[in-house]
Chain A
Amino acid sequence: MVKAKLIHHQLLVVDDLEKARDFFGRILGITEIKRPNTGRAGLWFGCLSNELHISVRTGIKGGRTGMSLQPNERPEKEGRHVAFTMDGSLDDIAKHLEVEGVPYVRGTAGLPQIFCEDPAGNLIELNTGWKQETIG
């Protein structure tokens, strides 16, 4: 039977490769991995069983969006996001983002979440993790 066995990667589109490398590689501390020659500009990271793929597109609006950082207050599909579970407490994460000058908000859904944007305006969640049971 054809079914999904794991989430392989999330791909995000950015306007600036070096800013993405700094944000995901240095600030979030994930590991860059080898990227095959796909004929297009990009950057791949590994994060345990997943990869994060970054593709560069010219001609897109770059930079942080200025939208609310609360997912449910962002228009259209812009509340979509990738969530990373971090080492450290929510306060540690908040302090880390303050030191790096990254604007953030704490989530309002009762979950241990902080939301921010990457330098290209993609919404990113940083959390301290949880595990839900399968239904039925």
Chain B
Amino acid sequence: MVRAKHIHHMNIVVNDLEKARDFYGRILGLPAIKRPNIAQPGLWFGCEANELHISFRQELKGGRTNLSLHGQERGKEGRHVAFTMDGSLDDIATHLEAESVPYVRGTAGLPQIFCEDPSGNFIELNTGWYQAPLSS
């Protein structure tokens, strides 16, 4: 049967690869992985069982958006990738403040912080949780 066995990667689009390398590689601490020679410029990171793919798009309007950092106020731009971090929510907040990354704490009762990457992609940083399948 054809079915999904795991999530392989998330792909996001940016207009500045060096800023993306700094944000995902240095600030979030993800290791860069080899990227095959595909025609379009980009950057790949590994994160345990997953990869994060960054695609470069020159004509994209760059920089953080002026949208709310609360997902429910962003329309379709509420879509995001969430990373589980080492450290507490307060540690994550302190880390983002030291890096001058604007953020908000989530309001859904989950241990979440939301921010944008330097190209305005919406990103969640959390301390993790696990939900049981509905059928069990």
Residue of B with least CB distance to A93: B2
Q: How far is the CA of A133 from the CA of B95 in the complex (A)?
A: 28
Query: How far is the CB of A117 from the nearest CB of chain B, in Å?
Result: 13
Q: Does B69 contact A (CB under 8 A)?
A: no
Q: Is the CB–CB distance between B78 and A13 below 8 Å?
A: yes
Which residues of A lie under 8 Å from residue B31 when comparing CB positions? 134-135
**Can you list 30 A-B contacts with CB-CB less than 8 angstroms, sorted by A residue number?**
A2-B87, A4-B29, A5-B83, A6-B47, A7-B7, A7-B83, A8-B124, A8-B128, A10-B7, A11-B79, A11-B81, A28-B4, A29-B3, A32-B133, A36-B109, A46-B131, A47-B6, A49-B6, A50-B7, A53-B82, A76-B13, A80-B11, A80-B121, A81-B11, A83-B10, A87-B1, A93-B2, A110-B38, A132-B35, A134-B33
Convert A72-91 into 0s and 1s, putting 1 for each residue whose CB lies closer than 8 angstroms to a CB of B: 10001111111111111000
| Residues of A99-136 contacting chain B, CB below 8 A | 109-111, 122, 125-127, 129, 132-136
CB-CB < 8 A to A82: which residues of B? 7, 9-11
Indicate whether A8 sits within 8 Å of B36 (C-beta atoms), given known contacts A1-B29, A39-B108. no
A3-B28, A79-B11, A80-B13 are known contacts. Are A132 and B38 too (CB-CB below 8 A)?
no
Q: Does B115 contact A (CB under 8 A)?
A: no
Q: Which residues on B are within 8 Å of A, measured CB to CB?
A: 1-13, 28-36, 38-40, 44, 46-53, 55, 57, 60-61, 71-72, 75-87, 91-92, 94-95, 108-110, 121, 124-126, 128, 131-135
With a cutoff of 8 Å between Cβ atoms, the chain B residues found around residue A36 in the complex are 108-110, 131
Give the bracket for the number of chain A residues in contact with chain B: 35 or more
A130 to B95, CA, bound (A): 33
* Bound Cα distance from A40 to B2, whole angstroms: 32
- A residues within 8 Å of B by Cβ? 1-13, 28-36, 38-40, 44, 46-53, 55, 57, 59-60, 71-72, 76-88, 92-93, 95-96, 109-111, 122, 125-127, 129, 132-136
